[in-house]
Amino acid sequence: MKRLRACATLAGVIGLAGLTQAFGQASCRPTLAFREVAFSDMRPPTMQRKWTAVVSVDASPCAANATGRFEIVFSRLQEFGPDTESREEFTWAAPAVNIAVDFAPTEAVQGYRIGKIAPCPCAAD
């Protein structure tokens, strides 16, 4: 019984040490913000429209010249059928990135937001 208790205690200490080490590693992320958002008129012959934006990137928490992935979540209004939500993935780089997404003639943008932002290597203190 004492061996079982000792093994359980040892396993708990090892697990706690691993957890502490994982939390001790710094995780940094840039701050992203939308600028200059536009939705074009329909373009013949496909009649598609293009949603564009400039996403400003404050990468000051990140190491120099860092880049990373992020997503934009769109709420799409559908002319025929239920409205949908979609996610598009892009790469950020400071100081800004230009984004363009095509929409079908039967779709419109109801809303958009920044979704997941992958962590970046932290800047040296």
Digit-coded pLDDT (tens) for 52-82: 999 999 999 999 999 999 999 999 999 988 9
Distance CA 54, CA 36 (A): 6
In a domain, 55, yes or no: yes
Residue 109 belongs to domain with CATH number: 2.60.40
Question: In what helix (H) or strand (E) does residue 10 lie, and over which residues does it extend?
Answer: helix 2-24
Cβ pair 84, 76 in contact under 8 A: yes
In a domain, 41, yes or no: yes
- What are the tens digits of pLDDT across the range 27-36? 899 999 999 9
Determine the structural domain holding residue 47 and report its residue range.
28-117
In a domain, 16, yes or no: no
What is the band of 124 on the pLDDT scale with cuts at 50, 70, 90? Answer: confident
Distance CA 81, CA 66 (A): 41
Helical residues (DSSP H) of 25-110, grouped into ranges: none
In a domain, 18, yes or no: no
φ and ψ of 18, to 5 deg:
-65, -40
Q: Indicate the number of domains in the chain.
A: 1
In a domain, 6, yes or no: no
Residue type for position 111: G
In a domain, 7, yes or no: no
Choice among 17-26, 37-46, 58-67, 74-83 with the minimum mean pLDDT: 17-26
In a domain, 54, yes or no: yes
